[in-house]
Structure 1
Amino acid sequence: MGKSDEELQTQLELLKIEHRDLDQAIAALIEAGSPDQLRTARLKKRKLQLRDRIILLENQLIPDIIA
C-alpha cells in the first residue's frame, strides 16, 4: 500500500528543508574558501539526489494533467 498524500507532503517538506540546508552549507564552504573539494563535491552530490527525490514526490502528489 502506498503512502498517503499527507505522508508524502511531510516527507517532501523534510527533503526541501534538508536541500536548503545543504545549499547553505555548500555556500558557506565556498565563501570560507574551504580547500576541501571532496566534501563540497559530496554535499553537491547529496543535494542533487535530494532534488531528484523531491521531483519524484512532487510528481506523485500532483496529478498528471497531460495524461
Structure 2
Amino acid sequence: MSQYCPPPVLVKTWLMLIDLRSSDEARAHGKRMIDVNFGSVDLAIIYLEQSHSDNTLVKVGM
C-alpha cells in the first residue's frame, strides 16, 4: 500500500493559510491538513525542501 503525499503546491498553500492573516477558520483548516498529513509544520517544511531534489526519497507517515 502506497502512502499519499500531497503535491508540494498544496502543502505550500496550507502553510500560507497558517502564516498569513487568514480567517480563523482558514488557519485552522491549514493547520489540520498539515497535522493529518505530516504531524507537524516542521515536517511539512522538510517535505517541501526535499521535494525540490529529484534524488531524494521522501517518506511521510507516522
TM-score (normalised: structure 2): 0.41
- Which structure shows the higher helix fraction? 1
Higher relative contact order (CA 8 A, sep 6+): 1
TM-score (normalised: structure 1): 0.39
